[in-house]
Structures are given as structure tokens and as C-alpha cells.
């Protein structure tokens, strides 16, 4: 077999694992009233239109005054009723959008499995590069009525790793507990990373073998310990 890809891997710190970048633009525009936040909010608004006759420029002072109001003016009963109806419609619309387009991507799958503990080392699968973001495929339209698929290719730390099947089982249990039933999960060893690649791949994706393994209390206990560190 050719030189192994993941032997003696570089150990990653938790803060080095791939993560989704947070967008704080919304907070700057709508939240906080400190001077720094106000200044940054103005900068963002001026990026929209910075001409001297800009309506955005003319309304910045008004916006700052509105955002600085601590107490809202009293409303009539009709206004309160209309506001409640509007809020209910908005919340219902948001829920409908989330249900219709709840798309799960590779980063979300990675976040679910990267913190699983390795059964042999006091490190996570992400830290050991057993699971990698680029080795995760997700086919999901977001439609709750359609089947979706996740394909994960894992990289054992040694070519004769006897725990590859256990690691794959831990990943499967974690995903089956976290993902909607419409997801089909396929777990494979990355090509060329294990001496018994084909045999292990069959074991990891054989429904009857996986079901039997999950009924083994001792084995399930080991898997449960692996999942304790998941976030």
C-alpha cells in the first residue's frame, strides 16, 4: 500500500477546527446604542448610498433617535390588536420558511461529528483529522418531503486501525440522533487509508449489522462515552 495519508497527524486545537463565521451586521444595524455601535451603523448605511442627496444620509439622524428611545409611546387598543396580528403573521411566516427551506450543509454535519471523542486517544475526531470538512458531502434540497443524503469519508490514523468500525458506528449514531429521518447516511473509509477498506465499508453501511451493534449494551456504552464530548 502507498504511504498513508493520516499517519502521525498534526493535532488541531479546538479553536482551529473549521467553523461557520458569524455575521454581526444585523446586530450593528438593529441592536445596541453605544457610540461605537452607532458609528459603525452609520458606516454600514453609508455604503448603501453615499451621495450628498442620499435619502439614507438624510435619515441617519432620525434612525439614531428612534433607536435611542428607551420606552415606546402608548398605543390604542386598535393599534395593539393590529400589532399582535402582524407579529403573529410574521412568526407564522418565519416558521413556514424554516420548514420549507431548512437546508443542512457540510459545515453543520461537521459540527455534529467533529467533537466526538476518539475511542483510543483523549482527543476528538476533528482534532485528529479523522473527519474533515472537505470529506463531507450533503445532498439536501431543504424540502421536508424529499429524501436527503449525507456521505462522510473518514480517515483512520493508521492503515490497520482496529477501531475504524467503532468510529464509524459512533458517527452514524450521532447523526441518526441529530438529523431528520429523511436523511440517508453513508459512511466510508477514505480511499487508500485502510488495509480492509472494502470490508469495513460494508460493515458500516449494513443496516442489519448496525442494528445488531446498537443492541449490544457493552458496545453502545463505549459509543455513548464517545459522544459525551459532543456540543
Around 220, how many Cα atoms within 13 Å sit in the side-chain half-sphere? 9
**Structure confidence at residue 174 as a pLDDT band (50, 70, 90):** very high
- Judge contact between 126 and 118, C-beta under 8 A: no
- State residue 187's pLDDT score: 97
The per-residue pLDDT for range 97-140, each reduced to its tens digit, is 555 567 899 999 999 999 999 998 899 999 999 999 999 999 99
**Structure confidence at residue 52 as a pLDDT band (50, 70, 90):** low
Burial level of 217, CB count in 10 A (0-12/13-18/19+)?
exposed
- State residue 13's pLDDT score: 82
Pick from 110, 192, 209: nearest CA to 156: 192
pTM above 0.75, yes or no: no
For the chain, what percent of residues have pLDDT higher than 70? 63
Please check the confidence at residue 24 and state whether its pLDDT lies above 80.
Answer: no
Amino acid at each position: 500500500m502507498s504511504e498513508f495519508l493520516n499517519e502521525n497527524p498534526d493535532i488541531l486545537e479546538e479553536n482551529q477546527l473549521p467553523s461557520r463565521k458569524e455575521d454581526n451586521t444585523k446586530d450593528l444595524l438593529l441592536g445596541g446604542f453605544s457610540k461605537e455601535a452607532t458609528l459603525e451603523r452609520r458606516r454600514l448605511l453609508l455604503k448603501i448610498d453615499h451621495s450628498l442627496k442620499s435619502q439614507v444620509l438624510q435619515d441617519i439622524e432620525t434612525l439614531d433617535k428612534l433607536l435611542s428611545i428607551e420606552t415606546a409611546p402608548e398605543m390604542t387598543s386598535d393599534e395593539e390588536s393590529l400589532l399582535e396580528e402582524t407579529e403573529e403573521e410574521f412568526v407564522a411566516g418565519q416558521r413556514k420558511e424554516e420548514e420549507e427551506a431548512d437546508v443542512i450543509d457540510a459545515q453543520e454535519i461537521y459540527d455534529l461529528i467533529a467533537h466526538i471523542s476518539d475511542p483510543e486517544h483523549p482527543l476528538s475526531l476533528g482534532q485528529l483529522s479523522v473527519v474533515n470538512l472537505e470529506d463531507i458531502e450533503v445532498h439536501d434540497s431543504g424540502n421536508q418531503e424529499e429524501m436527503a443524503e449525507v456521505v462522510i469519508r473518514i480517515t483512520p490514523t493508521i492503515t490497520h486501525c482496529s477501531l475504524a468500525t467503532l468510529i464509524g458506528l459512533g458517527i452514524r449514531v450521532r447523526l441518526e440522533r441529530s438529523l431528520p429521518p429523511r436523511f440517508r447516511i453513508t459512511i466510508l473509509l477514505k480511499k487508500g487509508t485502510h488495509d480492509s477498506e472494502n470490508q469495513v465499508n460494508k460493515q458500516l453501511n449494513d443496516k442489519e449489522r448496525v442494528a445488531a451493534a446498537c443492541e449490544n449494551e457493552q458496545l453502545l456504552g463505549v459509543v455513548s462515552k464517545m459522544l459525551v464530548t459532543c456540543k
